[in-house]
Amino acid sequence: MTITPWGYDNIKTVTLTLEDRTGIAVTTGQAFVAFPPGPSVGDWIRDDAVFNVGPDWPAEDLDVADSTVIAYPATFQTIGSEPSGLIGWGVDTATSSYDPNKSGQVQITARIVALNHSSFMVRIGFQLTTTFAPLIT
């Protein structure tokens, strides 16, 4: 099951464009994921949070050359008490991809994890770095 964020917070993009219209953009923020608690004690529960962020590149008449992303737990909480005393949260991996046929934005896929049914992740933070160039038509 893929997790679709239900909202975003503190999204900001800073762009540096050179004279030839190539450049770099850095987008930061948090995605509200409401990652559900796990089904049983002692299990690491994993799922992908998938969402699009950043400028709409074709609307800017630009194309994405490459991108990279880092993601991290930003807000989490404990629900009740865990009999084993073990709770935990994390981001296993984070990848970025761009397919202008799907969306004008870069897609982030973050593999998030929670330990036991008392762990609950509320938000993940991210930093997406994108290089771009003029769109060739």
* Model pLDDT for residues 91-112, shown as the tens digit of each residue: 999 999 999 888 999 999 999 9
Contact criterion met (CB below 8 Å) for 117 and 37: yes
Q: Which domain holds residue 127?
A: 2-134
Question: Which residues have CB under 8 Å from 34's CB, separation 6+?
Answer: 3, 6, 120, 121, 122
pLDDT of 32:
93
Tokens of 50: 């998938």
Condensed to tens digits (0 to 9), the pLDDT of residues 28-72 reads 999 998 886 555 556 778 889 999 999 999 988 999 999 999 999
pLDDT of 46:
87
pLDDT of 135:
84
pLDDT of 36:
66
How many domains does the structure of the chain reveal? 1
Phi, psi of 23 (to 5 degrees): 175, -165
Report the amino acid identity of residue 78: T
State the pTM of this model: 0.87
